[in-house]
């Protein structure tokens, strides 16, 4: 909120305000902008210190210890009050991923998915975690106050209790039941019957229709609505959760769950989609709720999908059925994990034949609603993280086949793999690896050798692991502050194309056994194009199946001929 100059009320203004039905514990504690008019206020009660900005309209409300910005509307609010010194949710510890608090993340205004991810998942670096926690405490100390504030052009109407809230510019609170010890940054929308405590919601996020939030962080353009219950959870950019329950999750970016019967609990999620009845359990009734599950980028749960923690899936895994044997398929991306007769069966690489995977990769960039873009997000279909996994997965499957060429069934981390599925998986992983290496080599940027080595998906951004560790080393040693590290991650992301090309060149070198010539690079690009075409063909065939005559069932309900039914199908499906 922009600071503004205030003055005391005149005796005539106090009298006019009282005629309008307003009262104050002490009119001398009510200060107003230079151009204040008593017509701006009616039927209000002021307690403690209150400051009113230019053009603010306040009616039928009780205000205590608040600074009201320019052009603000406060109407029919039972209590807009700051009853004691507070840091407005800044510094609150959110027990993400592990319900027992072993991965708690302190929240602050500028928290990003990368810092949140590191704070939750890098507990093997206690000094690093201490540095982040100290920074959060410093942020809390800076904003600590006995006065709440409402930023310019914000609107609060029909709400019950707004307590210890720091409200930014252009915020809308319409009919909320309780907003307590929170920070709402610019453009946040809070709707009817919302209850939120100890929470920070950043730019242009929405909390609506009876959502209940306790100790949460709500990222840019995230939507939480329809009576969702969320406790100790971090939601980063473009996530969208409604109904259901979220408990101790690190979500996002792009974590989506819409169904009343879904429970996301004690886990890490990224670009995730949960079907109806999606559920995880972290209770083995031994040491308590100490277990966690890691669902990497692009995982999807079919209706009724269930996983017993601890467990982990590789990126772009589709989970169908119930899985209770603590699988770890992290090394097998693009897979199907299917339950058959109480046993987990793995179809490695099979999602590469699924049009839904292609659609997912394409849709996320198109659905990026952010304007501020406070954190980097990678959308690249072909990248070093997934290419490395595909190369290693193919090698693992080949080794399994070579160790027992005549096996009728293979086992990988409590999951069964049929020989036919293993062979298909090897082929698909090789095709993806070739397509990825070719795509990255095609980039016009000059390859950066700093991209060589392992990569990580750090809070939704593909980054070289060594470079991430350098940033964390600098942060840990106090050579760099948290805000600087946020900038460093963004800078690494901006170099992605060159770094990825450097990785691809090294990967091609390893595959050839020598540094490739210019001709060999061109050949690798050509092979990549051919593999991409093959993978695209699989997806196109899958799409054709999804648009087949069989899938027209239920269309053209009152049609008298096949042509009308097909026309109805095409119109609805946009084909």
- Could you report the per-residue pLDDT of 165-220, keeping only the tens digit for each? 999 999 999 999 999 999 999 999 999 999 999 999 999 999 999 999 999 999 99
- In-domain check, residue 262: no
Indicate the DSSP class of residue 235: E
Can you tell me the distance from the alpha carbon of 245 to that of 267, in angstroms, rounded to the nearest whole number? 13
Q: Which residues, 6 or more positions from 487, have their beta carbon under 8 angstroms from its beta carbon?
A: none
Instruction: Write down the pLDDT at residue 155.
Output: 98
Beta-bridge partner residues of 79: 161
The helix or strand, by DSSP H or E, that contains position 356, with its residue range, turns out to be helix 355-366
- Is the pLDDT at 3 greater than 90? The verdict is no
Quote the mean pLDDT of the chain. 95
Q: Is the pLDDT of residue 496 over 80?
A: yes
Dist CA 128 CA 121 (whole Å) = 11
Pairing verdict, β 415-417 and 410-412: antiparallel
Torsion sign, CA atoms 106, 111, 117, 122 = negative
Residue 504 lies in a domain: yes
Helix (H, G, I), strand (E, B) or coil at 32: strand
Q: What is the pLDDT of residue 569?
A: 85
Q: Is 9 part of any domain?
A: yes
Domain final position from 26, 49, 81: 81
Q: For residue 70, tell me if it sits in a domain.
A: yes
Count CB atoms within 10 A of the CB of residue 150. Answer: 29
pLDDT mean over 482-505: 98
pLDDT at 362 over 80: yes
CA angle, 125 then 128 then 130, to 5° = 110
| 31, 50 contact by CB (below 8 A) | yes
H or E segment at 570? Answer: helix 562-573
| Report field, pTM of the whole predicted structure over 0.75 | yes
Range with lowest mean pLDDT among 412-416, 504-508, 544-548: 544-548
Give the span between the Cα atoms of 383 and 499, in whole angstroms: 10
Q: Assess if residue 196 is contained within a domain.
A: no
Tens digit of pLDDT for each residue in 549-559?
A: 778 888 888 88
Q: Answer whether residue 42 is part of any domain.
A: yes
| Domain enclosing residue 414, as ranges | 370-537
Quote the tokens at residue 565: 């039914």
Q: What is the pLDDT of residues 326-339, one digit of tens each?
A: 999 999 999 999 99
Number of independent structural domains in the chain: 2
Angle between helices 126-143 and 113-121 (to 10 degrees): 130
Closest C-alpha among 444, 440, 470 to residue 458: 470
Of the candidates 97, 380, 375, the residue with the CA atom closest to the CA atom of residue 231: 97
In sequence order, the β-bridge partners of residue 294 are 268, 312
> What is the torsional sign of CA 502, 508, 510, 515?
negative
pLDDT 10s digits, 49-94: 999 999 999 999 999 999 999 999 999 999 999 999 999 999 999 9
Q: Give the tokens for residue 14.
A: 């106090």
Token pair recorded at residue 46: 């002021």
* Residue at 304 is within a domain: no
pLDDT at 557: 86
- Identify whether 519 is part of a domain: yes
32, 61, 81 — which closes off a domain? 81
| The predicted structure's pLDDT at residue 551 | 82
Distance CA 346, CA 332 (A): 9
Q: Collapsing DSSP states into helix, strand and coil, what is residue 364? A: helix
Percent of the chain clearing pLDDT 90 (strictly above): 88
Select from 25, 58, 81 the last residue of a domain. Answer: 81
Q: In angstroms, rounded to a whole number, what is the distance separating the alpha carbons of residues 190 and 195? A: 9
Q: Does the pLDDT value for residue 1 go beyond 70?
A: no
């Amino acid at each position: 909120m922009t600071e503004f100059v205030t003055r005391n009320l005149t005796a005539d203004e106090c009298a006019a305000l009282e005629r309008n039905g307003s009262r104050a514990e002490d009119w001398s504690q009510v200060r107003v902008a230079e151009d204040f008019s008593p017509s701006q206020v009616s039927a209000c009660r002021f307690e403690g210190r209150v400051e009113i900005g230019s053009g603010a309209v306040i009616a039928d409300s009780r205000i205590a210890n608040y600074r009201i910005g320019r052009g603000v509307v406060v109407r029919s609010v039972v209590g807009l009050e700051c009853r004691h010194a507070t840091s407005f949710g800044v510094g609150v510890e959110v027990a993400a991923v592990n319900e027992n608090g072993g991965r708690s993340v302190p929240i602050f205004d500028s928290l990003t998915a990368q810092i949140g991810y590191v704070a939750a998942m890098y507990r093997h670096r206690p000094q690093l975690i201490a540095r982040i926690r100290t920074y959060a405490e410093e942020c809390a100390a800076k904003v600590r106050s006995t006065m709440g504030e409402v930023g310019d052009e914000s609107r609060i109407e029909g709400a019950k209790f707004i307590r210890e809230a720091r409200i930014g510019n252009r915020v809308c609170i319409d009919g909320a039941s309780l907003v307590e010890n929170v920070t709402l940054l610019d453009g946040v929308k809070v709707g009817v019957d919302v209850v939120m405590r100890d929470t920070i919601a950043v730019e242009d996020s929405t909390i609506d229709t009876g959502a209940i939030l306790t100790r949460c962080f709500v990222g840019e353009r995230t939507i939480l609505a329809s009576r969702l219950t969320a406790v100790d959870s971090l939601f980063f950019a473009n996530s969208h959760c409604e109904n259901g329950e979220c408990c101790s999750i690190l979500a996002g970016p792009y974590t989506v769950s819409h169904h009343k019967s879904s429970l996301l609990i004690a886990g890490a999620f990224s670009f995730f989609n949960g079907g109806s009845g999606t559920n995880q359990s972290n209770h083995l009734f031994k040491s308590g709720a100490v277990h966690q599950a890691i669902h990497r980028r692009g995982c999807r749960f079919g209706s009724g999908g269930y996983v017993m923690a601890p467990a982990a899936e590789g990126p772009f895994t589709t989970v169908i059925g119930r899985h209770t044997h603590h699988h770890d398929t992290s090394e097998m991306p693009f897979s199907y994990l299917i339950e058959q007769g109480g046993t987990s069966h793995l179809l490695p690489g099979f999602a590469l034949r699924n049009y839904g995977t292609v659609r997912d990769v394409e849709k996320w960039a198109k659905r990026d609603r952010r304007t501020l873009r406070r954190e980097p997000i990678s959308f690249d279909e072909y990248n070093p993280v997934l290419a490395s996994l595909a190369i290693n997965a193919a090698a693992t499957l080949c080794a399994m086949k070579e160790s027992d060429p005549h096996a009728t069934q293979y086992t990988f981390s409590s999951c069964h793999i049929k020989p036919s599925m293993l062979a298909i998986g090897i082929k698909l992983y090789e095709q993806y690896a070739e397509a990825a290496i070719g795509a990255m080599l095609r980039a016009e940027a000059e390859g950066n050798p700093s991209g060589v080595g392992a990569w990580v998906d750090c809070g939704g951004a593909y980054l070289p692991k060594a470079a991430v560790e350098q940033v964390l080393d600098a942060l840990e040693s106090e050579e760099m502050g948290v805000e600087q590290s946020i900038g460093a991650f963004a800078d690494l992301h901006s170099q992605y194309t060159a770094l990825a090309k450097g990785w691809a060149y090294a990967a091609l070198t390893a595959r050839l056994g020598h540094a490739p010539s210019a001709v060999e690079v061109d050949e690798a690009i050509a092979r990549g194009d051919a593999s991409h075409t093959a993978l695209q063909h699989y997806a196109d065939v899958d799409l054709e199946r999804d648009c087949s005559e069989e899938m027209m069932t239920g269309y053209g309900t009152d049609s008298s001929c096949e042509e009308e039914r097909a026309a109805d199908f095409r119109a609805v499906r946009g084909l």
